[in-house]
Amino acid sequence: MDVRELGDDRVRRAHSRLRRVEGQVRALQRMLDEGDDCEQVLRQIGAASKALRRVGVQLAVDGVETCVSGSRADTDLERFQRALVELS
């Protein structure tokens, strides 16, 4: 499966979400450099992890809707199932 099959809008949304996650990671690096409170750092790590996981889940949902069709359906569905297990 090629993510370009998802369509420009879905890929754009994924890029946007990933840029936000990237910003969260940069903020985490600053928090470490500045010696912020451990509890706050851990909360932000959790938030960034959750945001990244949401991107993966949305791509998987979009992929099932878009890419798992026709003669490739069984093979692609198995690949998606394995990817979802790895994501969780």
d(CA 44, CA 57): 20
| Greater pLDDT, 20 or 67 | 20
CB 27 within 8 A of CB 44: yes
0.85 surpassed by pTM = no
pLDDT in tens, 22-70: 999 999 999 999 999 999 999 999 999 999 999 988 888 887 777 565 5
**Of all helices (H) and strands (E), which one includes residue 82?**
helix 73-87
* Domain residue ranges in the chain: 3-87
What type of residue sits at position 22?
A: E
The CATH H-level (homologous superfamily) assignment of domain 3-87 is Metal-sensitive repressor, helix protomer (1.20.58.1000)
Which ranges constitute the DSSP H helices of 6-72? 8-34, 38-66
- Would you say how long the chain is, in residues? 88
* Residue 74 predicted with pLDDT over 70: no
